[in-house]
Structure 1
C-alpha cells in the first residue's frame, strides 16, 4: 500500500529549529504557561507581519473572543460575520452572547461580499458593533472596500487570518489591516505550535489588556485578586518554542504551497469543468489549501471518494455557517454564492511534505475520472 497523503499535516523544520527552543524550555524549567519563548514569539510574529504588538493564546478561537471583547462587543450586539468559514470564526460571537449575522461571499475573492456587507448595515444600522472577515484558504478578502465600509459606520474590523499567515493584500500582511487580526497555529495550518493562536494589533494598550484578560485577569496584588472576568488563554512556553522555530521556515512553506497550487493548475487546469480558486492581482496568497470548483459531469464527491480509496485525504470546501444546524436561527445576507462554493468545491491535498511523485499520483487519479 502506498503511504498516506494528508491534506495538510504538521511539517517541522529540517534544521531542527523547534527543538532548540523546546530544549531550552526544558533545560530552564520554563514548562508552564508564559516564559521567554512566549515573549519572543509575540515579538517575532509581530515583526514578521508588521504589527506593533501581539498576544499569544492557546487557540485562534480564543484570540477571536478576546478581539471581540476588546472591540466592546456585548450581549445582544450584532457582529457581521463571513458565512463561508469554519465554525471557530463564529463560535466566539456566541460565547460573548452577541448575535451573529452571516454575510455571503463573492466569486471574485471567495470571501466576504462588500455589497452584501453594505446591505447588512442598511438593515441593522447602529446595532452592529464589529465585522469579522475571513481570508479563506489564504486568499485575501477585498479589504479596501470592507475597511472603508467599517470606517464609515465606525465599527471595529477584525480579520480572521487563521488560514492566511504569509498572505499579502496590496503589499500588507493580512491580519494587520483591521483593528485586530488573529492567526492560528493549529496542526493543519501553514506553521504550527501543535495548537495555539495569536492576536495582533497596532493598538498596544488594547493588546496589553487582552493579555491581562487571558491571564485570568489577575490584578497587581500580593494575594490573588480579580476585578474582572478572566480566562486561561495564554500560550505555553513549550508551544511558543515550537512556534519560534516554525516561524523561521514560514517563507519556505509559502513557496512550497504555491508550488503545489501551480502544479495542480498545470496538470488539471485544462480538464473540462474545473476552475481554480481566484488569485487576484492585488492578492499574494499563501496558498494554504489548493481548492477547485467543478461545474461539469464530475462531482466533488467522486474526486474525494476516488482519492480516499487510494489513501489520500481531501475535503469539501467549508459548509457555510448559515447552513449549519446550530446557526440556522440567525440572519443571513446575500444570495447563494457561498452555498454554490460549498456544493461544488474540493480542497485538494496541500501537504508541504509531498513530493512531485505524490502530486503526479494525485493528478493521475483525478484525470481518470475524465476518461
Structure 2
C-alpha cells in the first residue's frame, strides 16, 4: 500500500459511500478497462465470482463440458462446478506451462466428430504468463467455441504487445491479497460486449429488477465490489507497471544466482511473451542437483522462508478425480519437480539473498555428500 491508496480510501470513507457500488467502483472499472484494452469492465467480489459470471453470460448449461487447464488454482474448476457443468482438464505444454494448444485441438476435433463440443474453453494464464493465444484463439474460433481467459495471475502481462485479459470473449482477474495488485479481496470481469457487461452487473447485484420493491425474475448473486475496495484498487492500478518491473527484477536475480546450479531450470518465457513473473517458479532435477524439490522447500521452511510447490494438477485433486482429463504427464512432472520461490514486490535484497543462500548451501552439502558417498543414488 502507498500514499495514493490511502488518499483514495479516505476519500471514499469521508464521502460515507461505503456500501457496494459508488463513484470509485465506476472509476475503477473505467480505468481498468483502459489498462487491459477492453471496452467494459465489471468490478466484482472475487476472481472466482468473475469466472462464475462468465459462465452464466455464455449460458453454460448443467452437464455441459467446459475445457480448462489442469495446472491451476482450484477456483477455476470450482467456478465450472458452480454452473453445474463438467470440467475437462487439458495438460500443460513445456514451452509456457500453460494449456497445450495441440492437445486442445485434438480433443476439440474428437468432440466435434461425435457432436459434443464444450460450451467454452477456460484458459488459465499461469504464474503471470499468458497462454499461447496465437494458437488457442485460432483453434477455438475454428470450432466456434468461446474462450474465457482466467487472467487472475497475469494482470500486467503481454503477448505480442497485447495485454492479458484481452484474448477471450471474456476475461477474469483477481485482486486477492497475494496478487500483483490487490484490493484485499475482489475481482474484475472484462469484455467488449456491452450487453454482457450490463447483464453481469445485473446478476452480480442479486438480479434485482427495476421496481420500487424488490423484484427478481432470475437468480442472481451478491458479487459486487464495495466502494472502499475500489478506491484501493484505483491507487494500486497506478503502480501496476512498477509492480511488474519489480517482480521481473526479482526473477532476474534468482535466475542470475541459481541458474548455474546443475538441475535448476526456471519457467520459460518464449519470444513475444512478457510475463509479470508474479511467482518465480523453477524445476529441480534431483539427480543433477543432489536434492529434490521437497528438500529445498523444507530447508527454506527451517529458516522461516515460505516456498511452495507449483499448482497440483486438478486431475490429481481428490475433489476432481472423477473428471475427464486429456494428457497430464507434463503438469504432473511440473508439480513433482516445481517450486515457487518468495516473489513479493516488497522483497528486499537481504530477503532474496537469504533464499539464494539456503539453496546454494543445500547444493554444496549435497555435493560433499556425493563425494564422500559415491555409491549414493
TM-score range, shorter chain: over 0.9
Q: Tell me which of 71, 93, 109 is aligned to 1:106.
A: 93
CA positional deviation for 1:205: 1.3
Q: Tell me which of 300, 303, 318 is aligned to 2:311.
A: 318
1: CA distance, partners of 2:58 / 2:362: 49
2: CA distance, partners of 1:335 / 1:322: 8
Q: Tell me which of 8, 23, 29 is aligned to 1:42.
A: 29
Is residue 199 of structure 1 aligned with residue 189 of structure 2? yes
**Does structure 1 conserve the Cα–Cα contact (< 8 Å) formed by 2:150 and 2:173?**
yes
Secondary structure of residue in 2 paired with 1:369? helix
Alignment of 1:251-270 (within 5 A): 251-270=241-260
Structure 1 residues 335 and 33, CA gap change in structure 2 (3 angstroms)? closer
Secondary structure of residue in 2 paired with 1:286? coil
1: CA distance, partners of 2:6 / 2:234: 10
2: CA distance, partners of 1:79 / 1:162: 18
CA positional deviation for 1:127: 3.5
Corresponding residue number in structure 1 for 2:167: 177
**Does structure 2 conserve the Cα–Cα contact (< 8 Å) formed by 1:119 and 1:333?**
no
Is residue 30 of structure 1 aligned with residue 17 of structure 2? yes
Secondary structure of residue in 2 paired with 1:370? helix
**Does structure 1 conserve the Cα–Cα contact (< 8 Å) formed by 2:70 and 2:328?**
no
2: CA distance, partners of 1:335 / 1:45: 35
CA positional deviation for 1:335: 4.1
2: CA distance, partners of 1:335 / 1:238: 42
CA positional deviation for 1:122: 2.7
Corresponding residue number in structure 1 for 2:375: none
1: CA distance, partners of 2:24 / 2:297: 40
Corresponding residue number in structure 2 for 1:5: none
Corresponding residue number in structure 1 for 2:41: 54
2: CA distance, partners of 1:350 / 1:361: 13
Corresponding residue number in structure 2 for 1:234: 224
Q: Deviations over 1:172-224 (max 9, x none)?
A: 01111110101100000000000000000111211111110001111111111
1: CA distance, partners of 2:155 / 2:49: 17
Corresponding residue number in structure 2 for 1:136: 126
Structure 1 unaligned blocks of 5 or more? 1-11
Q: Tell me which of 274, 278, 298 is aligned to 1:284.
A: 274
Over alpha carbons, which structure has the higher Rg?
A: 2
**Ranges of 4+ aligned residues in structure 1 off by more than 4 Å:** none
**Does structure 1 conserve the Cα–Cα contact (< 8 Å) formed by 2:204 and 2:220?**
yes
2: CA distance, partners of 1:295 / 1:116: 26
Matched residue count: 358
Corresponding residue number in structure 1 for 2:367: none
Alignment of 1:216-227 (within 5 A): 216-227=206-217
Q: Tell me which of 53, 71, 78 is aligned to 2:58.
A: 71
CA positional deviation for 1:123: 3.2
**Does structure 2 conserve the Cα–Cα contact (< 8 Å) formed by 1:139 and 1:167?**
yes
CA positional deviation for 1:359: 1.2
Q: Deviations over 1:240-276 (max 9, x none)?
A: 1110111111111001000000000000010000000
Structure 2 unaligned blocks of 5 or more? 365-377
**Does structure 1 conserve the Cα–Cα contact (< 8 Å) formed by 2:90 and 2:328?**
no
- Which fold has the larger relative contact order, with Cα–Cα distance below 8 Å and residues 6 or more apart in sequence? 1
1: CA distance, partners of 2:239 / 2:350: 23
Q: Tell me which of 95, 98, 117 is aligned to 2:82.
A: 95
CA positional deviation for 1:149: 1.1
